[in-house]
Homo-oligomer: A and B are copies of this chain.
């Protein structure tokens, strides 16, 4: 068995079941090993940003480590923006990056680059295998590092000769670091704060936004009157009818400040302290009120659920959580906007759906309108690097073939990784994509004013308009084998969405706003 095969067997032994890939020459031995190794499904993406974004979506839903196969420094670079998002989602991800044979590096062939240097800014763990006999051990270490709490990015660089030379066989997964328990005094002081009766916010992310964490925060809120506010962007939120409802901290600074105004204590539960997404002249970076005390109940990598259990016990929080009722207001009719589209989604969303949100300017309307929809999972752009929606939906559908995926996708962002549609067609994935077609980088128009540059002229505005020419999303989808339709009214959108959700395989709706 060669190094590549020893790595593939190590990965499957460590619980890696899918490899999202865009391989090249230096990865051919790994690709060839796929046919000799049972249990490692390989999914091709036609661009590396698709590969890494899909791996993230897969891992968020499968709760198994994601793996990718990428081609040297430039191939890795192409995938980094969505690795950034995955890192901010605390997704356990193992990137396998082929490189030139060890003895070939000194020749500085055209594709040569400092692959470790490329990996480092977006990876928590980086290693280059020295030779074929170390590859299996390195691969096992990479998976263990990725699984370390709260979920990390490992990048293993695999020189071509380490792939093709003889190896000893797979290596076992080393012990994986456990989530650290939260100290009893932290629990006690959090309980004291909550008992004080002062306006308190539980600021939530990670496991606090999914069961069993969600019911625990719901019980604590019901018993103490604390408000439940989720981080603006989260890896995965369980929400909808029958679940504990939480507010989301809005993206616009002024709205965020208003949401937290009057809060005396803010308790971080798997979240980091609330900060502005960007800096704006004359506005604060920290979003909690100045006099508000911010303390951590459980950091993202700590035992968030254990801490919530202990806190609920300490508080004797036995009162049942208040649950969201099923509530899907009629979307109405006529020309479609974000609010009516959101209502239409809420009305038609099947139970257990996965909603991917890269709606950007439309996000708050969709969040608000789907609050009382059938229970679903909600996946967001955790790192703010646009171009993850279509890949994220792709990976989520690979992870959950029995669930429907709805992707709420801004048009400008969709173009970054539009190649994901092809993978959806190839794999026959049940993804219904809604392109929010406003023919502009609408969010930037607002931002131009927010940063105090509102007096800009035509040349500046040309950088935000996508209407010259308008993209034909129906043709775009069909060019990659995805059936598609166009909707400009609520009625037509509802009809198309219903059809998309009922059909097998991918469907795209060009929602003309």
Chain A interface residues toward B at CB < 8 A: 21, 23-26, 28-29, 31-32, 34-35, 42, 44, 46-47, 49, 73-75, 77-78, 80-81, 84-85, 88, 100-101, 103-104, 107-111, 113-114, 117-118, 120-122, 160-161, 164, 232-233, 272, 275-279, 281, 285-286, 382-385, 387, 412, 415-416, 418-419, 422, 425-426, 443-444, 447-448, 450-453, 455-460, 462-463, 466, 468-476, 478-481
Contact = CB atoms under 8 A, between A and B. Distances in A.
A329 to B, nearest CB: 31
Contact of A42 (B26, B462, B472, B473): B462
A121 B117 contact: yes
Given A74-B385, A101-B279, A479-B476, A451 B25 contact: yes
B80 A118 contact: yes
Contacts of A121: 73, 113-114, 117-118
B279 A103 contact: yes
A448 B73 contact: no
A340 B320 CA distance: 76
A469 B422 contact: yes
Contacts of A111: 277-278, 383-385
B448 A28 contact: yes
A46 B440 CA distance: 11
17 contacts: A25-B451, A28-B453, A32-B453, A42-B459, A44-B463, A74-B385, A78-B416, A101-B279, A107-B275, A108-B275, A110-B233, A111-B385, A160-B279, A426-B469, A474-B479, A475-B475, A476-B479
Contacts of A285: 103-104, 107, 109
Contacts of A78: 49, 78, 80-81, 387, 416
A117 B114 CA distance: 12
Given A278-B26, A419-B418, A384 B164 contact: no
Given A28-B453, A81-B78, A121-B73, A276 B444 contact: no
Contacts of A276: 104, 107, 109
A471 B460 contact: no
A276 to B, nearest CB: 7
A75 to B, nearest CB: 7
A164 B452 contact: yes
A71 to B, nearest CB: 9
A278 B109 contact: yes
Contacts of A109: 275-278, 285, 384
A277 B77 CA distance: 19
A25 B468 CA distance: 22
Contacts of A275: 107-109
Contacts of A452: 164
Given A32-B456, A121-B118, A462-B44, A383 B160 contact: no
A281 B88 contact: no
Contact of A415 (B47, B73, B459): B47
Q: Closest 8 CB pairs between A and B?
A: A469-B481, A35-B457, A74-B385, A101-B279, A104-B279, A32-B453, A74-B81, A475-B479
Contacts of A80: 74, 77-78, 80, 118
A479 B471 contact: yes
Nearest to A382: B110
B478 A104 contact: no
A84 B73 CA distance: 9
A278 B25 contact: yes
A93 to B, nearest CB: 15
- Residue picked from A456, A457, A463, most chain B C-beta under 10 Å: A463
A3 to B, nearest CB: 12
A134 B492 CA distance: 55
Given A164-B453, A476-B479, 11 more contacts: A25-B443, A25-B444, A74-B383, A84-B113, A101-B278, A104-B279, A107-B285, A117-B117, A118-B122, A160-B451, A475-B479
